[in-house]
Amino acid sequence: MAKGKLSFEEALARLEKIVAELEKGDFTLEESLKKFEEGLVLGKECREFLDKAEGRIRELVEEKEGQITEKDVTDEF
Amino acid sequence: MPFVEKDFLTVSDLNAQVRLLLEESFPEVAVLGEISNFKKHTSGHLYFTLKDAASQLRAVCFRGDAETLDTTPEDGIKVIATGRLTVYEPYGQYQLVAHSIRKVGVGELEIAFRALCEKLEKEGLFAPEHKQSLPAFPFRIAVITSRTGAAIRDIVSTLKRRWPCVDIFVFPVHVQGVQAAPEIIRALELVQQVEDLDLVVLGRGGGSLEDLWAFNEEAVARAVYACSVRVISAVGHETDFTITDFVADVRAATPTMAGEIAVPLITEVGAKLDAMTEQLVQSMQNRIELRSGRLRELLRSYALGRVRGRIEGAMQALDFSMEKLQRGAREAVEKRSTALARELTRLEALDPRAILARGFAVCSDMVSDAIVRSAAAGAQLKDMRVTFHDGALRTEVKERIDGKG
């Protein structure tokens, strides 16, 4: 999830809260709909986040003091 | 000498005095350490450095003693060297003059292990209050271990299999031998520079107590303690315990276990997400059904023939939207929910109660339920039903009063 937006964990927690609130159903129809839509968007974003391109594996070696070289070694695993 | 007393010492004087002090204080001392920079001089004397992860000491063993040693000293072996301390005055360097050098046995390592355990425990390095719980969904994980060997493969493959979206940062280090402890300590410093890192897995495969020794070094334990990122320690097999295990936030029995502890299963998280989305749709649907049930009732009781067609049309659109929602291919769900919202807004506008609540009433034939649309039609009737937003009245028609028609 992009920076500044909700983290995956926060988005999931928010979704859980919305689901519980809608179950209880103490909102007006408009409020419920708003929550419902927000919940669907959150669920979709979380899903997309999980399905995003695979994570990378990088190897970090300090060549000289404080000078770190980074190498992508994803294909080696 | 023209100078009088004690304004200063010469370098030689000072070194001589320090030497005396040292020799008197440490006439016989046994030191545990690892041999490095080992050199056998042509004279037969042995020169080397004794070190642990944090410190080092110059040492020499003269030929006479060197010839009687049981252990052949070499770089990288752990020894206990016994001898006296002195100062080599030409260099002002203090050193151990060892008369015996003995390879350390497992027994001694265990004693050192227990002593350090006790010391660090007293200091609070193992305290549960200091341990941080692991993040539920880590997306960036550092792995500090040997680049060769099974441990790295076990850790990385377990992480990727369970949680493919994770980014992994490998910090290769020696996990045994003289370089191990300083490299591990440096790596623990460097991981803290990785942005948004969620946790660190520090480990290696199984081995003897000696092989695992780097993970029992005090300086390594302190580096783990000081690391601001959460650390999972995965050293050796189930039965191997190291001090690093005690200091780390979580101990994993094996490198593979570390991968399992570190990340959730993507299929489980996905299933949970699906279940929540379904629940969301379900409760919204219940809500709407309740609502449309009420509308149907109104439709019956108010007999609002004129708007009936429009309401029924909207009802159908709603049913259609709900069906689509139920079929619920996830990719379009966002769009659908918006369409559904529009439908509902239209329905709300059609709600006859809303009109009646504004002060209007509807007249209908008591018998046929037909709406009375004109005074002329009303004048033909004996009585009429007048429906308000909160109920209806039966009224008698007396006379037509507007004079027209």
Chosen from B133, B134, B137 to mutate, greatest number of chain A CBs within 10 A: B137
Query: Where among B230, B262, B294 does a domain terminate?
Result: B262
Task: Tell me: do B270 and B338 sit in the same domain.
Answer: yes
The domain tally of chain B equals 4
ipTM of the complex: 0.85
In a domain, B52, yes or no: yes
Task: Tell me: do B95 and B70 sit in the same domain.
Answer: yes
Provide the pLDDT confidence category of residue B75 given band limits of 50, 70 and 90.
confident
Task: Tell me: do B55 and B163 sit in the same domain.
Answer: no
Contact check, Cβ <8 Å, A22/B284: yes
pLDDT value of residue B204: 94
For residue B56, report the phi and psi dihedrals to the nearest 5 degrees: -145, 160
Q: How many CB pairs under 8 A join A and B?
A: 112
Contact check, Cβ <8 Å, A29/B287: yes
All structural domains of chain A with their residue ranges:
8-76
Chosen from B141, B143, B162, B165 to mutate, greatest number of chain A CBs within 10 A: B165
Can you give the pTM of this predicted structure?
A: 0.67
**Which residues does chain B have within 8 Å of residue A60's beta carbon, measured at their own beta carbons?**
169-171, 190, 194
Provide the pLDDT confidence category of residue B29 given band limits of 50, 70 and 90.
very high
Of B167, B287, B337, the CB nearest to A25: B287
Contact check, Cβ <8 Å, B334/A60: no
Which of A17-26, A51-60, B55-64, B389-398 is most confident?
Answer: B55-64
Q: Report, as an integer, the average pLDDT of A28-37.
A: 78
pLDDT value of residue B330: 45
**Rg for chain B, CA atoms, rounded:** 43
Provide the pLDDT confidence category of residue B403 given band limits of 50, 70 and 90.
low
Query: Where among B205, B233, B262 does a domain terminate?
Result: B262
Task: Tell me: do B238 and B338 sit in the same domain.
Answer: no
In a domain, B117, yes or no: no
pLDDT value of residue A23: 81
CA distance B59 to chain A (A): 29
Range of the domain at B326: 266-350
List the single range of B63-77, B257-271, B279-293 with lowest mean pLDDT: B279-293
In a domain, B294, yes or no: yes
For residue B358, report the phi and psi dihedrals to the nearest 5 degrees: -80, 0
Query: Where among B328, B350, B372 does a domain terminate?
Result: B350
Task: Tell me: do B339 and B364 sit in the same domain.
Answer: no
Is B157 in CB contact (< 8 Å) with chain A? yes
Calculate the average pLDDT of chain B: 84
Encode pLDDT of B142-188 as tens digits: 999 999 989 999 999 999 999 998 999 999 999 998 889 999 999 99
Task: Tell me: do B233 and B132 sit in the same domain.
Answer: yes
Q: Collect all residues with Cβ–Cβ distance below 8 Å to A50 and sequence separation of at least 6.
A: B165, B266, B269, B270, B273
In a domain, B155, yes or no: yes
In a domain, B170, yes or no: yes
Task: Tell me: do B198 and B217 sit in the same domain.
Answer: yes
**Which residues does chain B have within 8 Å of residue A59's beta carbon, measured at their own beta carbons?**
147, 170-172
Is residue B405 pLDDT above 50, yes or no?
A: no
pLDDT value of residue B304: 54
Task: Tell me: do B255 and B283 sit in the same domain.
Answer: no
In a domain, B6, yes or no: no
Is residue B225 pLDDT above 60, yes or no?
A: yes
Q: Collect all residues with Cβ–Cβ distance below 8 Å to B374 and sequence separation of at least 6.
A: none
pLDDT value of residue B25: 93
Of B19, B267, B222, nearest to B126 by C-alpha is: B222
